[in-house]
Amino acid sequence: DTAVSQTPKYLVTQMGNDKSIKCEQNLGHDTMYWYKQDSKKFLKIMFSYNNKELIINETVPNRFSPKSPDKAHLNLHINSLELGDSAVYFCASSQERLAGGETQYFGPGTRLLVL
């Protein structure tokens, strides 16, 4: 049973297109995250939702918009894709908040390539 799943696994698209990445977790967690991993493997938090409420919104272009229809899902929509958006995007989840060393569980990643 996959704990955190993402679709699609690979996404190749043209500049200027709009695309979405979906994430679902079946762990019953309250908090979900989106990370971007660049070509040098550097991981940067983008967004976090707790009980469907946005709690972390780092400095990312407003072309990126997260949407959480329920606690188990956190989708990422990207408008007007640019070459620099090419990266691996990871979804993660954790139980409540990371105040006591709670583990984050990561999805397998979505490899986005913008041509």
Partner 1 sequence: GDSVTQMEGPVTLSEEAFLTINCTYTATGYPSLFWYVQYPGEGLQLLLKATKADDKGSNKGFEATYRKETTSFHLEKGSVQVSDSAVYFCALNSGAGSYQLTFGKGTKLSVIP
Q: Which residue number, 13 or 37, has a Cβ lying nearer to partner 1?
A: 37
CA nearest to 91, candidates 13, 36, 26: 36
Cβ of residue 74: shortest distance to partner 1, in angstroms?
A: 13
Cβ of residue 82: shortest distance to partner 1, in angstroms?
A: 23
Q: Which residue has the tokens 């989106």?
A: 34
Cβ of residue 34: shortest distance to partner 1, in angstroms?
A: 12
User: What one-character-per-residue DSSP string does 64-95 give?
Assistant: EEEEEEETTEEEEEE-S--GGG-EEEEEEEES
Is residue 10 a contact point for partner 1 (CB under 8 A)? no
Asked if 9 and 22 touch (Cβ cutoff 8 Å), the reply is: no
- Among residues 40, 62, 70, 84, which is the contact residue for partner 1, using CB under 8 A? 40
Q: Which residue number, 75 or 94, has a Cβ lying nearer to partner 1?
A: 94
CA nearest to 111, candidates 5, 12, 1, 30: 12
Q: What contacts 8, CB < 8 A, 6 or more positions away? A: 21, 110
- Among residues 56, 60, 72, 77, which is the contact residue for partner 1, using CB under 8 A? 56
What residues make contact with partner 1 under the rule CB under 8 A?
A: 4, 31, 40-43, 45, 48, 50, 55-56, 90, 92, 97-101, 103-109
